Amino acid sequence: MFNTLSGRFLILTLCFVMLAEVLIFVPSVARFREDYLLSRLERAQIASLALLANDGMVDVALEDELLRNAEVLNVVLRRDEVRELVLSAPEIPPIAATYDLRKPAQFDLIRDAMTQLGNRTDRTIRVIGAPVRDAGLEIEVTMHSAPLRAAMIDFGLRILVLSAVISAFTAALLFVSVRYFLVTPMSRLVGQVRAYADAPEDARRIITPNAGLHELRDAELALNKMQTELTAALKQKDHLAQMGAAVAKISHDLRNILTTASLMADRLEISDDPTVKRTAPKLLQSLARAVNLCEGTLAFGRAQEPPPALARVDAASLLREVVESEALGPDGDAIRFDLDVEAGLTLRCDAEQMFRVLGNLIRNARQAILAQTKTGTITIIARASARADGWEIRVSDTGPGLPEKAREHLFKPFQGGARKGGSGLGLAIAAELVRGHGGDLTLERSDPQGTEFKIWLPSQTLT
């Protein structure tokens, strides 16, 4: 119990309530002592007035009775600047202390009360006060301290018992309240977390925020968001694994098919048709790249991309090759390509991987244009970066721009597709390949006037 939140809260509540009661107890006992002494002064005054009313003529037995009722040893009354011993016992022990209650300070009352509680001996004390109803200038009594201490202890015990009862009752109420409003909802939250951890792919186990307390509801909302994102990520990971497994199974057969197609395409080079002679080398290069892709098992999520084989690559030649390859499609006449390459620009990259990156970007741009405007322009600009530590290649189009959903998940596989039926793998693969070069692929703009991507590559020296 003491290792639980509610148990510790109960103990702390008891301690704090008792501390508050102690702070109340000390002044209360001091006030009780003052009232006790003032009551003895009033009794002594009444006894002295009874004696004065009889012209001071009383027998010894009556005087003793008056002193016992007042619980004092003697009474001194000062009237008209004259001190008069009104009542007195036969023998009075030496006086140990004198207390003046006419204008007492609160600190002095507390100090004297604590001193009285700590002193177990029966002492003779003198108490001075002002008579009630202006019956004189001053009244003084002498009394034993033992009855006063006994009365203070009895009062203190009653205060402590009452404090303990109040503390226990308050702590019990707080304990029940904490259990109901805090511990129980937290236990339920922990149970939901454990249930989700057993099957994180099950969307039915995602927590539904319903707490009444704002703090707990905020925690549930944050947990709901995290679980939702984690479940989606796990499903995506499972999808990627399944896709990778499927590609691994077909890569061998597909490679054989493409190899056969390459052998058949070799015969096109002996054709006398000028168009066939011009396109045959491009076809053979495309088939060779497809074979390499199959052999490397390049399905995204199935295997990591191999590290780039960095070399010096002429930027103009690489970009022209990409453009010519993409312009061979049946809709090539609808797209105009503007190529602007800085003279003598040489990149440090893997030519094969960079061909794939640029091919993905240009293919996406062409599809965006043809899906909306039917005709348009794709511009490729390559030059030294303004950062003076690399190169940049910009690919822009005059298409309609990317949808909002595509921009939110741009480089995430199966989430960033911009067209119906698209998987979103192209940009994800392109971004991974660029990162492998130590660079980055970013979306510079996307609006109704078109979209622009930028590739930045570092310019480290070759080793």
In a domain, 401, yes or no: yes
**208-263 pLDDT tens trace:** 888 777 877 888 888 888 888 888 888 777 776 776 666 655 665 666 566 666 65
**What is the C-alpha radius of gyration for the chain, rounded to an integer number of angstroms?**
50
Q: What is the DSSP string of 89-145?
A: -S--PPP-EEEE-SS--HHHHHHHHHHHHH--S--EEEEEEPPGGG-SSEEEEEEES
**154-191 pLDDT tens trace:** 998 888 888 778 877 877 887 788 778 777 888 888 88
In a domain, 376, yes or no: yes
| Domains identified in the chain, total number | 2
Alpha carbon distance 265, 288 (integer Å): 11
The answer to whether 423 and 414 are in contact (CB under 8 A) is: yes
Q: Indicate the residue among 119, 154, 170 that finishes a domain.
A: 170
The SS3 call for residue 19 is: helix
In a domain, 299, yes or no: no
Q: Indicate the residue among 137, 170, 203 that finishes a domain.
A: 170
Alpha carbon distance 350, 308 (integer Å): 5
In a domain, 92, yes or no: yes
In a domain, 240, yes or no: no
Alpha carbon distance 362, 365 (integer Å): 5
Alpha carbon distance 29, 32 (integer Å): 5
The answer to whether 308 and 439 are in contact (CB under 8 A) is: no
In a domain, 102, yes or no: yes
Q: What is the DSSP string of 285-352?
A: HHHHHHHHHHHTT--TTTSPPPPP--EEEEHHHHHHHHHHHHTTSTTGGGEEEEEEE-TT-EEEE-HH
Q: Indicate the residue among 113, 146, 170 that finishes a domain.
A: 170
Tokens of 436: 């492998």
CB atoms within 10 A of CB 30: 22
| Parent domain of 139 | 5-170
Tokens of 334: 């609808």
Residue 97: is it exposed, middle or buried by C-beta count within 10 angstroms (0-12/13-18/19+)?
A: middle
In a domain, 50, yes or no: yes
The answer to whether 301 and 244 are in contact (CB under 8 A) is: yes
Residues 12 and 159 placed together within one structural domain of the fold: yes
> Which pLDDT tens digits describe the chain residue by residue (463 residues)?
556 666 777 777 777 777 777 777 888 899 999 999 999 988 888 888 777 666 656 667 777 888 888 889 898 888 777 787 888 888 888 999 999 998 888 888 999 999 988 888 999 999 999 887 766 688 899 999 999 999 999 998 888 888 778 877 877 887 788 778 777 888 888 888 888 888 887 778 888 888 777 877 888 888 888 888 888 888 777 776 776 666 655 665 666 566 666 656 666 666 667 776 677 777 767 767 676 666 554 444 444 567 888 999 999 999 999 888 777 665 667 889 999 999 999 999 999 999 989 988 998 888 888 887 678 899 999 999 876 688 999 999 998 888 887 777 787 765 545 554 445 667 888 898 999 998 999 999 998 889 999 999 998 654 3
Its pTM stands at 0.44
The SS3 call for residue 11 is: helix
Instruction: Give me the CATH number covering residue 330.
Output: 3.30.565.10
Alpha carbon distance 63, 332 (integer Å): 134
In a domain, 71, yes or no: yes
